[in-house]
Structure 1
């Protein structure tokens, strides 16, 4: 078996990512490939994507994601590969062409009222079940505006995965 420099580098990158813990806002880093913040949220562009143990097709597949638009957190970059985590903390390396910069969020609580305005007293538009994914439009002051099917409304950030608690999106 021939060991190439890129394979050695891929293993080293994977080891460094595994050893590093989560970053707070003050120590936020930039990706060496995209110069975008790490960590950051993206969504799954494909209907199916393999999450591999390392950033190369030769690495074993640990997970197969089969839900388009699922929010994922990018924690590292290597060439055309992104190290991702899902809401359960599972993940691996996915090719960047399978990811989108479109922000989505997954509802973590069951039967959450989708509100007309970012106010707990606002009119309910619908009750949203756990596992529903919506497209983020904006977030501020503990609320996010989402498109869910044909509806657009507000959910509390605390009921969502795919956005940081204090994140502001415009």
Structure 2
């Protein structure tokens, strides 16, 4: 998909120990389903605010960069919090610690099925109004148990949850 670039450099044992310490502190201070800093649900989905975001090995600028996310609006799953840092992962599970200022609460989704059908209504038999290529990023709207309304590329329609990443199977949105 080409959404990340590997950063060179070796981790120092001290840096790794600091990251482990942050992870241990997070799990001690937070309820398992709530962030220690925001008290928002974990995991939850956010999107990349700008066109580039560094994912670091630990929650500070002194930690090495492991990944660089390179697509504005890319959906990411927040799995942990520490101060101003959020531990995120993409649909492949790759990621790291990203400063919260690089993230947006705007919900997006990634099309996973090539030429996925967007329907006029949340019904498999409804008219197909557009098709979306795998890897396209769309804005997420309303979701019912099986379908989500999405917009992107000047098109809008309903898509099966099975065809996108960025929303949980049991998630409902108004």
Q: Normalised by the size of structure 2, how large is the TM-score? A: 0.84
Q: Which residue matches 1:134? A: 138
Give CA deviations for 1:90-142 in whole Å, capped at 9, x if unaligned: 11000000000010000001111110100011111111110011111110020
List alignment gaps of at least 5 residues for structure 2: 1-15
* Deviation of 1:148 (Å): 1.2
Decide whether the 8 Å contact of 2:19 with 2:57 is kept in 1: no
SS in structure 2 at match of 1:29: coil
* Deviation of 1:67 (Å): 0.2
Give CA deviations for 1:36-72 in whole Å, capped at 9, x if unaligned: 0011000000110100000011101000011000000
Q: Aligned partners of 1:10 and 1:81: how far apart in 2?
A: 12
In the alignment, structure 1 residue 56 sits paired with structure 2 residue 56: no
Q: Aligned partners of 2:130 and 2:24: how far apart in 1?
A: 45
SS in structure 2 at match of 1:97: helix
* Deviation of 1:166 (Å): 1.3
Q: Which residue matches 1:24? A: none
Q: Aligned partners of 2:57 and 2:17: how far apart in 1?
A: 14
Decide whether the 8 Å contact of 1:70 with 1:133 is kept in 2: yes
SS in structure 2 at match of 1:31: coil
Q: Which residue matches 2:39? A: 35
In the alignment, structure 1 residue 13 sits paired with structure 2 residue 19: no
Decide whether the 8 Å contact of 1:51 with 1:93 is kept in 2: yes
* Deviation of 1:149 (Å): 2.2
Q: Aligned partners of 1:8 and 1:35: how far apart in 2?
A: 26
